[in-house]
Amino acid sequence: MRDTQTNTAPLLSVRDLSVRFRTGDGLVHAVNNVSFDIDVGEKLAVVGESGSGKSQIALAIMGLLAKNGEASGKIMFDGRDLLHLPLGELNKIRARQIGIIFQDPMSSLNPYMTIERQLAEIVELHEGASRRDARKRALEVMDAVQIPDARARLDAYPHEFSGGMRQRIVIAMALMCNPRLILADEPTTALDVTVQAQIMKLLGDIQRDMGTAVVLITHDLGVVAGFCDETLVLYGGCIMEQAPTLSIFDAPGHPYTRGLLRAVPNIEDPAASLAAIPGSPPSQRKPPAACPFAPRCVDAVDACHLTLPDLDGDGSKRACLRPVEVLT
Amino acid sequence: MTSASRRLKSREFADAAAEEMITSRSFWADARGRFLRNRMAVFSVFMLLCLVVFALFGHTIAVWNYEEIDWAVLGQVKTEGGPSLENGHWFGVDELGRDLYARVVQGTRTSLMVGFVAGPLSVMLGALIGAMAGYFGGRFDQTVMGLYTIWISIPYIIFFVVWQAFFGRSLTQMIIVIIIVNWTAGLLIVRGQVMMLKNREFVDAARMLGMSDMAIIFKHLMPNVLWVVVIYTSLVIPEVIMAESLVSFLGVGIQEPNTSWGALISEGARTMTFGTLWQLAFPAMFFVIAQVSLFYIGDGLRDALDPKER
Amino acid sequence: MLNFTLRRLFAVIPTILVLIVFSFYLMRLAPGGPFTSERPLPPAVMANVLERYGMDEPLHVQLWSYIKNIVLYFDFGPSFSQKDRTVNDVIAQGFPVTLTYGFWSAIFVLVCGVPLGIIAALRHNGFWDYTMTGLAIFSQIFPNFVLAPLMVLLFTLSWGLLPGGGWNGGQWQYIVMPAIALGTSYMAGVARLTRGSMLEVLNSPFIRTARAKGLPERTIIIRHALKPALLPTLTYMGPVFVYMITGSVFIDVFFSTGGIGQDFIDGAYSRDYSILLGLAILYSLLTFALTLMLDLLYAWIDPKVRSSMG
């Protein structure tokens, strides 16, 4: 979408990405024909409910889908398609070019290795750093993510840290090689609200200082608001709306986005009732033939149940036959 | 009191709520369906039934009694004592000239009896103690758990040997000592299940109705952990048969002239060097058939009953 | 660490004392002592015999000296049935034998079981995976007392490769079959457990993290997966040791190794209570020592336990 503005290729370009899982009950279509670009230093949010396939996009980019998962389409990074890269080549990109922050800091760290080892092994591997240099780098990065008294805690084990501190360590892990892109998969979900804010501020600072591009995957629109330039709304594995974050909040184009925003508590008007979106997430047994949100959409017409609309529009795009502004 | 709250406090409701847990008819019906679809398990049940029939009625077609010595073949067991249709020793004779067929029938009877009496009884004992430990908690639970830890770290052979040395050898003593040794069977998992269940509404309801603790345990909690007990029993029975066989093999189990698979295998193994291999082959075959069948039945039950397996 | 060790010891010591006291009373109160089984002795001779074994004194005095001798001098007293032989003689003669092949058997269990389980997990649903499943079923069906005769049948009687029993000062040929017959079923158990925990670890989030770092698969397995995958195996080794001690009694008897298992069984036959209970206490001490060692090893490996020990 940015290619209208500049001619330089985007940092990461995802085209027609679909992810399917073979399960005991048949195929599950988790992600369907998703396309988006990220430029150098850009901040993109991918928003959706749990089960919308948002985490699977990040895992597909890293080549980390579960064994029964299969991705199709194209994920171009540096002119190479990550989906068809041999594991050895992909390993050179993981952590070094693309870092990932997983959502659960409790289980994402190896409980049997010291923090220092888990951080240092990354630069030892990718930069051939000596053990001493790697340790120094680990200390630097731990300082950068503001872990107090980092030097003394280098040789501690994950269980000796609080949840927020562990999330910082997971972030530090993603930063070890100064990657060009960071995929942050629900980085704050497991944390208290106050800690959430700290972590988001930290991510923002790092992003600004290092110019890293960030894909922030979250279900929490509140987290997105102050952070991302561009937002992509996912439902049932399909992109519903893609727009600059501000316009998403000001004028949501897709009825689903509007529903999502109504489900977020509003501080200025606490009396306003929270509107839950009626119905439940779609079954993903079949590839969608119609708008996946139609069964829950109050504005749906017959056509909505029959056709799958394209992502369409200038600047802010939505995949909808009856976008919000048409209705009002 | 409204009719709704009266309904909530009625005994019928407490019972119904308990029923509605996993004891519901559909749970067992579903489990039966799943089990019956498992061909290997169903075939194993058939094999086991054959063994039971063999143990119960096998002696009626035997030509010889299991204690009787056939003087005609004694002393030339190696040449004359092999399996033969003519002299009625279908499985041959043992080292003392006794009919092996009749002895295998007797051994099957003993081994199955030990397995199917001592196995379920020990699981029931373990489940009861486990349920009480889980339900009452506190000091009782601590004592039980302490005993459990010590108990499982003592090799069971010690109990058998010492017990048999002091109280003699007989089938009854055998079953008693097996139950004592295995009181820990299923204890931990039942305890865990009960600890989980005891905070459910239907237990509170029963308590409010003034049901006694033991009544709650028996009427409401035990039915809900029945599936655990069933799985455990299927695992313990082959273990018990194996333990009985081992100690009988060592000569501290069942006493002559009564016999069991282990005792027969032991005799067969001892005379193996003389070339009378049938003495090892027939008891070992029956033992192996029983173990294979029990293995697949246990497997089938676990698949059918364990919620985690679904 | 020291603290932890001491705490464990404090739990073990009373247990052992209770065991000794219990054993002692059992021994003295049991029906039919070692000297009553034959023709009744003349009262004078009887008194003489009793005095020789210190049995004329009040029970609590006897108990005190029994405990004192065990605790201070590790002396289990004289044998009742074998003249001029003490329980310590029996232990000194047989215990090294049992420990030797037991040690090699444990090595066999770990050295074969662990890699087999890991390979089966890495080649999930591959050749080694099915081999292992087959082995697991095989070991359930052929416990050591069926396996050992079969091995002797093949390796000794048919092929003449290995001696079918005896010890001969512990030459390797005499150790191979006892060690393998004793260990096979536990080897299969270790393999199955290792496979299960390896599969679980390989699917855990922190392994995904390791993959996201770009580490090669081999590094991930060795550096990240091995330790957590082996911890459950380590826990399982406790029960394995306990079962192996039971198995060693059978091995001692079947292979005539001259290990303490034979003396234990003989003690039961001849109602030689001092040997019987002395060895029972020794077996218990051995299991307690082994489990304590395992606990310490576990605590040393697992940082969570290590730091909670203070």
CATH code, domain carrying B268? 1.10.3720.10
Neighbours of chain A (3+ CB pairs under 8 A): C
Smallest CA–CA separation between B16 and chain C, in Å? Answer: 39
Q: Is C52 on the interface with A (CB under 8 A)?
A: no
At B75 the pLDDT is 67
Whether C208 and A113 lie within 8 Å, measured CB to CB? no
* C251-259: average pLDDT: 89
Confidence of residue C179 (pLDDT cuts 50, 70, 90): very high
Q: Into how many domains does chain B fold?
A: 2
List the single residue in C140, C145, C238 with the smallest CB-CB distance to B245.
Answer: C145
A154 in C contact zone (CB under 8 Å): no
Whether A327 shows a pLDDT value over 90: the answer reads no
Give the per-residue pLDDT at B16: 54
Residue C279, pLDDT > 80, answer yes
Residue B309 is predicted with a pLDDT of: 46
pLDDT at residue number A118: 93
Among B50-59, C79-88, C97-106, name the most confident range.
C97-106
pLDDT on residue A106:
82
Subunits that touch chain C (at least 3 Cβ pairs < 8 angstroms)?
Answer: A, B
Q: Which residues of B touch C264 (CB under 8 A)?
A: 161
Residues of C in contact with B268 (CB under 8 A): 149
Q: Over the stretch B205-227, which tens digit does the pLDDT of each residue have? A: 888 888 888 888 888 888 888 88
Q: Helix (H, G, I), strand (E, B), or coil: what is residue B209?
A: coil
CATH no., domain A3-97+177-326: 3.40.50.300
> Which residues in B lie closer than 8 A to residue C255 (C-beta atoms)?
none
Residue A114: what pLDDT? 92
- CA B64 distance to own-chain centroid: 30
Residues C128 and C244 in one domain: yes
Give chain B positions within 8 Å (CB) of C288.
Answer: 153
**What mean pLDDT do residues A6-24 have?**
83
| pLDDT for the residue A269 | 60
User: Domain boundaries in chain A?
Assistant: 3-97+177-326, 111-173
Q: Around Cβ B226, how many Cβ atoms within 10 Å?
A: 17
Q: What is the pLDDT of residue B227?
A: 82
Residue C106 and residue C148 in one domain? yes
Average pLDDT over chain C reads 83
Distance from CA of A126 to the nearest CA of C (A): 8
Same domain, C264 and C181: yes
- DSSP assignment of B48-83, as one string? HHHHHHHHHHGGGG-SS-SS-B-TTTTT-HHHH-S-
- CB within 8 A of C104, min separation 6: which ones? C175, C179
Evaluate if residue B4 carries a pLDDT over 60.
Answer: no
Which residues does chain B have within 8 Å of residue C243's beta carbon, measured at their own beta carbons? 155
Which residue type, as a one-letter code, is found at position B243? A
Q: Do A157 and C303 touch (CB under 8 A)?
A: yes
Q: Among C73, C104, C130, which residue terminates a domain? A: C73
Average pLDDT of the residues in A50-73: 89
Chain C residues close to B262, C-beta within 8 Å: 145
Closest Cα of chain C to B154: distance in Å?
6
Query: Which carries the bigger pLDDT value, residue A21 or residue B89?
Result: A21
Q: Which residue of B has its CA nearest to C274?
A: B162
pLDDT the model gives residue C78 = 81
Residues B231, B211: one domain?
yes
Give the range among A83-97, A179-193, B69-83 with minimum mean pLDDT: B69-83
Alpha-carbon gap: B268 to the closest alpha carbon of chain C (Å) = 9
DSSP string, C97-153: HHHHHHHHHHHHHHHHHHHHHHHHHHTTTSHHHHHHHHHHHHHHHS-HHHHHHHHII
pLDDT at C277 over 50: yes
Q: Tell me the residue range of the domain where C37 lies.
A: 2-73
- Which residue would you say has higher pLDDT here, B5 or C71? C71
Same domain membership, residue C96 and residue C47: no
Query: Would you say residue B11 has pLDDT above 70?
Result: no
In this prediction, residue B74 carries a pLDDT of: 67
Look over chain A and give the mean of its residue pLDDT values, rounded to a whole number: 85
Phi/psi of residue B6, nearest 5 degrees: -65, -40
Is residue A280 predicted with pLDDT exceeding 80?
no
Q: Tell me: do C204 and C293 sit in the same domain.
A: yes
| Whether residues B5 and B87 fall in one domain | no
Q: Do C181 and C228 belong together in one domain?
A: yes
Residue B175 has pLDDT above 80, yes or no: yes
- CA gap B58, B44 in Å, rounded: 19
pLDDT of B1 strictly over 50: no
The ipTM estimated for the assembled molecules is 0.86
Among B149, B150, B153, B182, pick the best mutation site for testing chain C contact (most C Cβ within 10 A).
B153
**Which residues does residue A318 pair with via DSSP β-bridges, in sequence order?**
A241, A312
Candidate from C211, C213, C228 with C-beta closest to A125: C213
Residue A33 is encoded by which pair of tokens? 């024909």
Flag the least confident range among A42-56, B57-71, C277-291.
Answer: B57-71
In angstroms, how far is the first alpha carbon of chain A from the final one? 27
Start-end of H helices in A176-228: 193-210, 221-225
Together in a domain, C189 and C263: yes
Least confident range from A177-181, A218-222, B104-108: namely A218-222
**Distance separating alpha carbons of residues B95 and B75, to the nearest angstrom:** 9
**pLDDT digit string (tens) for B18-30?**
555 545 567 777 7
Answer whether B165 touches C (CB < 8 Å).
yes
Residue B56 has pLDDT above 90, yes or no: no
Hey, is C242 helix, strand or coil?
Answer: helix
Q: Which stretch, A55-59, C82-86, C293-297, has highest mean pLDDT?
A: A55-59
What's the pLDDT tens digit per position in C50-99? 676 666 677 788 888 888 888 888 888 888 777 778 888 889 888 999 99
What confidence tens digit (pLDDT) does each residue in B120-170 have?
Answer: 999 999 999 999 999 888 899 988 888 888 788 788 888 888 787 777 778
The yes-or-no verdict on residue B17 having pLDDT over 70 is no
> Are residue C59 and residue C101 in the same domain, yes or no?
no
What distance in Å separates residue C245's CA from the closest CA in chain B? 6
Range of the domain at B234: 38-309
Q: What pLDDT was estimated at residue B22? A: 47
- Is C114 within a domain? yes
Q: Same structural domain for residues C284 and C155?
A: yes
CA of B241: how far to CAs of A241, B109, B244, in Å? 67, 11, 5
Q: Could you tell me which residues come within 8 angstroms of residue A20 by beta carbon, excluding any fewer than 6 positions away?
A: A27, A28, A29, A30, A69, A70, A72
Q: Give me the residue from C140, C143, C276 closest to B165, CB to CB.
A: C276
Asked if C108 and C183 touch (Cβ cutoff 8 Å), the reply is yes
Number of domains making up chain C: 2
- Band of pLDDT at residue B3, cut at 50, 70 and 90: very low
Contact B262 C249 (CB under 8 A): no
Considering Cα of C155, then C158, then C164, then C170, what sign does the dihedral take?
negative
B145 lies in the same domain as B17: no
Residue type for B9, please?
Answer: K
Interface of C with A in 277-306 (CB under 8 A): 301-304
Asked if residue C84 belongs to a domain, the reply is no
List helix spans (H) across B137-218.
138-152, 156-167, 171-181, 187-197, 201-208, 213-215
Report chain C residues whose CB lies below 8 A from the CB of A112: 227-228, 301-303
Same domain, residue pair C52 and C188: no
Q: Do residues C48 and C120 share a domain? A: no
C196/C118 same-domain check = yes
Q: Is the pTM of this model over 0.90?
A: no
Which pLDDT value is given to residue A181?
92
The phi and psi torsions of B308 (rounded to 5 degrees) equal -70, -25
pLDDT at C30: 64
A128-152 pLDDT per residue, tens: 889 999 999 999 989 888 888 888 8
In the predicted structure, residue B202 carries a pLDDT above the cut 50? yes
Question: In this predicted structure, what is the pLDDT of residue B2?
Answer: 41
